[in-house]
Structure 1
Amino acid sequence: MLDRLADLIRYRELVRNLVIRDLKARYKNSILGFVWCLVNPLLMMVVFTIVFTVMMPNNTIDRFPVFILCALLPWNWFSASVTGAINSIVSNASLVKKVYFPREVLPLSVVLSNLINFLLALTVLFAMLFFFHVRLTPWALLLPLVIFIQLVFTTGLALILSTLNVFYRDTGVIMEVVLLAWFFLTPIFYPIDIIPHHRVIWGLSLDLHRLVWWLNPMASLIATYRVILYHGAPPAFDFLLRTFVTSLGFLVVGYLFFIHYSRTFGEEV
């Protein structure tokens, strides 16, 4: 594994070129170009704000546009990375068959290109924070750490799914449904505090609040983004540490899984 990491470092220029290629292809022939990475979250923010404040006037969440952006931007990065990484090996079949390079640069470049989009879109969030007079506190300095943990988790999952899709082409179709369910099970347009602590399901008394924290890394990450930026408060460090350990586990397992099966990619694609 260490040899493979060293090999990946030697091919860092290829990673950079693939990231640039992905960004250029995404906005090719569009009128606004890279501006879309700013306009898109703004439009989604407007839609969610209309739905949850105008059409549902009982919503009591203060400064809802900021509230929703703190969660929507990280989710968009995660969702776009996972969706794009699934086909990253198959869509580059000719390259995989003809040229030697560490195959993991393909899903990795997708995650990194979406990371750049996310970082650019953060300017919209900070503009909204200023517009709605949300004061940043020193806890906002934890933002790079939270981004790094999400990068680790997303990369690990991307490696697993891109490998599975080489052998099972319906992986992408299944993940469309999974991501839709995952979206609603993650506190994006609602605060995590409204999830009940105790609920009886099929005769079992479950602490749903704790289960969401434990079993859904994105719930923990998005709640942390919201706490440090929207609330200006310290995050739940125990859950953040647990999320980091989980994310690291996904990355290690995903990388080993990818390395093991990458030897046969050329035959399968």
Structure 2
Amino acid sequence: MATAGKVEQAKVNRWRWIPHQVRDAFKYRDLLRNLVVRDLKVRYRGSVLGFIWSLLNPLLLMLIFWFVFSKLLKNPTPHFPLFLLTALLAWTWCATTVSGCVGSIVGNGNLINKVYFPRELLPFSTVISNGINFLLSLPTAFALIIYYLVRYPEHYGPRYFPDNLVILNPFNWNLLWIPVLILTQAIFLAGLGLFLAALNVYFRDTSMIVEVGLQAWFFLTPILYDLSAVAQEATQYVYWLNPMASIISSWRIILYNGGNIDPFFILRTILTSLIVFVAGYLFFSRLSRSFGEEL
């Protein structure tokens, strides 16, 4: 009877509520902080420029795309470098996090087999360390905004550009949405990272698939273009099926257009991100109890 009771208790523990798991992870916040610091140190170890690369990567991509699409292909989008940079910063956080999370469990097999700790801390540390890089690179967007405000003050008005495009001064109350966007993107990336990290333990081709998938995902996300150029019905599907499309569109509204964000739009994005997080956490929890055997 006692054995049966232990088995039943084990089954209950396997399906703990996510809030309880989050509290359990919070108890190990010191370890989480150490993992984040380790990720940052390893990334820039031996590098001459160090964390400056977190600024250079999106800037170099922006310059390449600006030259190709604006100079060679004559893209008419005004302030095209800022248009690109607002999307590339958020995308860089996404792409580096997804790539890092895939191998976060497999790459720490020795640590997992030596000591107990909530395994989800490994993907979480990847999300946070890349999020720190994102925050360090965000001032480059504000610097570019200030440049355009000073260099082309006449561009910021309701009737300057054709096609009813309105560009307003981004330094307004909508900047208060930035913490919400950061948290929303972190939740989405954590859920996706948990799913991919667990899947890669049992299916090692996951990392190869993700590498190809990121390239396709890049072009399916409104980074080089605006979703307003896509058919209205298709736009709605993209927003629902691709949370990064909604997140990047929100960043662009705040930092590029300077317009108002529809609260319903933000709530829908938060809901989608929460669904991804819960699904990823449940999948990770289901598979994590056998990580030691597979590693």
TM (normalized to structure 2)?
Answer: 0.85
What per-residue deviation string (whole Å, max 9, x for no partner) do you get for residues 74-98 of structure 1? 0110111011000000000000111
CA drift at 1:4: 2.2
For 1:136, give the aligned amino acid: F
- Most deviating of 228-237 and 65-74: 228-237
> How far is 1:208 from its partner?
1.1
Runs of 4+ in structure 1 off by over 6 angstroms are none
1:241 CA drift (Å)? 1.3
Whether contact under 8 Å (1:213, 1:239) holds in the other structure is: no
Question: C-alpha distance in 2, partners of 1:191/1:6?
Answer: 40
* Counterpart for residue 97 of structure 1: 113
- Equivalent position SS for 2:116: coil
The answer as to 2:241 corresponding to 1:215 is yes
* Unmatched segments (≥5 aa) in structure 2: 1-16, 150-168
**Are residue 49 (structure 1) and residue 66 (structure 2) matched?**
yes
Map of 2:282 onto structure 1: 256
1:132 aligns with 2:109: no
**Alpha-carbon distance change, 228 to 96 in structure 1, aligned in 2, over 3 angstroms:** same
Identify the range of structure 1 (31-40 vs 104-113) with the bigger mean alpha-carbon deviation. Answer: 31-40
Work out the CA distance in 2 between the residues paired with 1:240 and 1:7. Answer: 29
Shift of 1:141: 1.5
The one-letter code sitting in structure 2 at the alignment partner of 1:109 is S
Aligned to 1:200: none
What amino acid is aligned across from residue 268 of structure 2 in structure 1?
R
State the TM-score, normalized to the length of structure 1.
0.93
Shift of 1:40: 1.8
CA contact (8 A) 2:254 2:261 kept: yes
- Find 2:200's aligned residue among 155, 165, 181: 165
> In 2, distance between residues paired with 1:233 and 1:129?
14
C-alpha offsets along residues 210-241 of structure 1, whole Å, 9 cap, x if unaligned?
21122111101100100111111112332321
Residue 120 of structure 2 is aligned to residue 76 of structure 1: no
Q: Which residue in 2 is equivalent to 1:233?
A: 259
14-23 vs 174-183, which moves further: 174-183
Count residues with an aligned counterpart.
259
Looking at structure 2, the residues matched to 143 and 81 of structure 1 have their Cα atoms a distance apart, in angstroms, of 19
Q: Which residue of 1 aligns with 2:294?
A: 268
Instruction: Report the RMSD for the aligned CA atoms in angstroms.
Output: 1.1
Q: Deviation of residue 37 (structure 1)?
A: 1.0
Q: CA deviation at 1:135?
A: 4.1
CA distance in 2, matches of 1:40, 1:75: 11
CA offset digits 1:125-181 (Å, max 9, x no partner): 111111111542211221111111111111000001100000000011111121111
Q: Based on CA coordinates, which of the two structures has the bigger radius of gyration?
A: 2
